[in-house]
Structure 1
Amino acid sequence: MDELIDAALITHLAGALRQAGVRPAALEASRVGEEKLRRRVDIVRDALLVDLPPTYDGTASAVRAAFADETFTGWMLWPVSEAVVDRALESGSARSFDDALDVLALLTTRLSGEFAIRSMLDAGFERTLAVAAGWTSSVDLHVRRLASEGTRSHLPWARGVPELVRRPGVTRPIVDALYTDESEYVRRSVANHVNDLARDDPDLAADIVAGWLDHPDENTPRVARHALRTLVKKGHPRALELMGFEGADFRVDGPSVTEHEVPVGAEVRFTARIINTGTVPARTAIDYVMHFRKARGVLRPKVFKIMSRSIAPGEAVVVDTSYSFRARTTRTFHLGEHAIELQVNGRTYGRDTFRLVDPEESS
């Protein structure tokens, strides 16, 4: 992902700005090397702030002129949007603030302004939120998505907006206006938005989805499932009920790990058997909890989905699955004891342990 902003992109952006009457000397002199994506964006934004006109009006005019070129598109617009916002906030003008939001709505039709709008929310929360609420009725699906995505409380790669965390219900009108949007792109953003809310106020997230299910369209069940995915994994009672997972009369044999020493790079396999001991069919969410060993030796749980299915009275379901300890950028593995539990409808059952070991020691 870091390579999304590279030397070729900088050259392309410089050419687009030159066509718009901007001399991109600082931009052409800027260099990106081993930096992460966020830092690369900042380097290009800072160069743009040197090259673009010093006033907000001049910057906005130059960006709008560049937008006339259809090749002025894609990831180059992330640092451009950041530069526009910086100029607007620097000006201290309400007119410039509002116009910058209009520019973001324009740019987002070619690349989302979800990152740049975070600074606008931080500087003028109510004003920005009111504009975002208006975007929910835009004819452009990208602008509608910006209303939802840009106001997520835990948007990946983006700066935090503390007010969104402190007041999780404030964005409810936005997601309520968009959960039946004709675009799956928009609906998925809405579901992710509510999944973020579940971190801050689980009961509110469940209440929002309950409202959707009271007034659904054909896509609402899928949107609801995606919105409540984290709460279902955590066993939130109302989320489980809303998703139709019910029944607590189970006997679980296992989980049982097949190999109790697992080399890094290999996989741990385990089995379990779930029996519905009740008298009615039970719709179940079957997950497993991996307790990963951290650097200081403590174990931290992470829930992984196995399946969702109905289990008839007396029926037994056999689970046979694995987790791979192959190298990945999203998780660092630490040698030593780990543990696995099974989770059915939010309740954990059984526990088995294994040791993650150095491949050379196991050979």
Structure 2
Amino acid sequence: MSSYIPLKNYFDAELAQFLANQISPLYSGFPSDTFIEGVSGSVEGLELKDRVAVISNELHKALALPYMDAIEVLKQILGPENKTEQGMFTNGYFLMPIAHYVEVYGLNEFEVSMDALYRITKRHTSEFAIRPYLLRYESLVLEKLQEWAVDENSHVRRLVSEGTRPRLPWAKRIDVLSGDPYKNLSLLESLITDHSKYVQKSVGNHLNDLSKMYKEETIEWIKNMHMLHGNKINWTLKHGLRSLIKVNDPDVLEFMRRIGG
């Protein structure tokens, strides 16, 4: 029986070697040895997010290319799309530094970076990397998210909900869009009846975040959604109300009793 290995331990010199092996055939000037040594000498003792940042930063130094050229190289090593709704952090873990690269170095190239995040999220996730873009280009990102909310790929649809969550785990907390919870809720309207459990869970988690910040607005919206869609969305609604159920909120308990949740 194999022993558990913390995810952070995968972000080391071995991963740097893997990335170098992928990049070198595409970019003959890539200094593999320098890149690997830079990662190896900097990740020891660091936690996951800091290790990811080290590899991203070392990639930036080693590529030594304008962002537009560097991202074209990196897009070629993304690998096949994840056709399941599992393994984004296990099978796709090696893409975390690339998502971080887009997050940090691509902010001045909106369209190119949105395309990169769209591609990455089909294989891993862009839920963290998209947040600085949301803060800088809110209206433009929202236009993209409205399109992505009806994308055929469940990973892309999930990003619409997960990337805008106010209290996304591992990420810095953000306020609701434009300070208005109904902007977040409007994004979720396209996803509330999603057939994917993967997306449903994200929508429920997003609603749970909102219920801690804007309780009345969230409950009102949930009741309206149930009137429109009926019991087929009960699981998502219950998941979204779980914190209020836990504290025995009377309005929520009555609502759940009424819908048979």
Same fold, judged at TM 0.5 (above): yes
Aligned to 2:51: 40
**Residues 136 and 177 in structure 1, CA contact (< 8 A), matched pair in contact too:** yes
Tell whether the 8 Å contact from 1:4 to 1:37 is kept in structure 2 after alignment. no
Q: 1:75 corresponds to which letter in structure 2?
A: Y
Aligned equivalent of 2:3: none
2:76 to 53, 65, 74: 65
Asked if the contact 1:114–1:146 (Cα under 8 Å) also holds between the matched residues in 2, the reply is yes
Q: Of the candidates 13, 20, 44, which is equivalent to residue 7 of structure 1? A: 13
Does the 8 Å contact 2:78/2:123 carry over to 1? no
1:211 corresponds to: 224
Q: Helix, strand or coil: the match of 2:182? A: helix
| CA drift at 1:188 | 0.5
Please report how far the alpha carbon of residue 158 of structure 1 lies from its aligned counterpart in structure 2 after TM superposition: 1.2
- Residues in 1 aligned to 2:246 and 2:113: alpha-carbon distance in whole angstroms: 40
Structure 2 residue corresponding to 1:139, chosen from 148, 152, 163: 152
Secondary structure of 2:164 counterpart: coil
Q: Which has the higher strand share?
A: 1
Matched with 2:23 is 17
Q: Structure 2: which amino acid aligns with 1:19?
A: P
Residues 19 and 206 of structure 1, relative CA distance in 2, 3 Å threshold:
farther
Q: Deviations over 1:288-337 (max 9, x none)?
A: xxxxxxxxxxxxxxxxxxxx9xxxxxxxxxxxxxxxxxxxxxxxxxxxxx
- Amino acid of the residue matched to residue 49 of structure 2? R
d(CA) in 2 for partners of 1:128, 1:84: 15
- Give the whole-Å Cα distance in 2 for the aligned partners of 1:235 and 1:137: 35
More helix as a share of residues: 2
Larger Rg: 1 or 2? 1
Partner of 1:56: 67
8 A Cα contact 2:207 2:218, kept in partner? yes
1:28 paired residue number: 36
User: Where in structure 1 are there 5+ consecutive unaligned residues?
Assistant: 247-282, 284-307, 309-363
C-alpha distance in 2 between matches for 1:2 and 1:68:
21
CA distance in 2, matches of 1:143, 1:21: 29
Alpha carbons 2:78, 2:95 under 8 Å: kept: no
- Cα distance change of structure 1 residues 81 and 200 upon mapping to structure 2, 3 Å threshold: same
- The 3 A distance-change label for structure 1 pair 203 and 99 is same
1:119 paired residue number:
132
Give yes or no for contact 1:52–1:58 (8 Å, CA) kept in 2: no
Secondary structure of 2:190's match? helix
TM-score, L = length of structure 1 = 0.61
Seen in structure 2, the aligned counterparts of structure 1 residues 50 and 171 have a Cα distance that, compared at 3 Å, is same
Q: After the TM superposition, list the runs of 4 or more consecutive aligned residues in structure 1 that deviate by more than 6 angstroms.
A: none
**For the Cα contact (< 8 Å) 1:5–1:37, is it kept in 2?**
yes
Q: Tell whether the 8 Å contact from 1:59 to 1:84 is kept in structure 2 after alignment.
A: no
Partner of 2:120: 107
Alignment of 1:89-100 (within 5 A): 89=107, 92=108, 96-100=109-113
Residue of structure 1 in register with 2:212 after alignment = 199
Q: Partners of 1:123 and 1:158 in 2: how far apart?
A: 16
Measure the CA separation in 2 of the matches of 1:208 and 1:240: 16
Q: Find the counterpart in structure 1 of residue 88 from structure 2.
A: none
Rounded Cα–Cα distance in structure 2 between residues aligned with 1:226 and 1:97: 34
Q: CA RMSD in A?
A: 2.5
C-alpha spacing 1:207/1:27, structure 2 compared with 1 (3 Å): farther
- CA deviations on 1:250-291 (whole Å, 9 max, x unpaired) are xxxxxxxxxxxxxxxxxxxxxxxxxxxxxxxxx9xxxxxxxx
Read off the aligned partner of 1:6 and give its amino acid letter: D
User: Cα gap change, 1:186/1:88 in structure 2, threshold over 3 Å: closer, same or farther?
Assistant: same
What is the deviation of 1:163? 5.1
2:185 aligned with 1:188, yes or no?
no
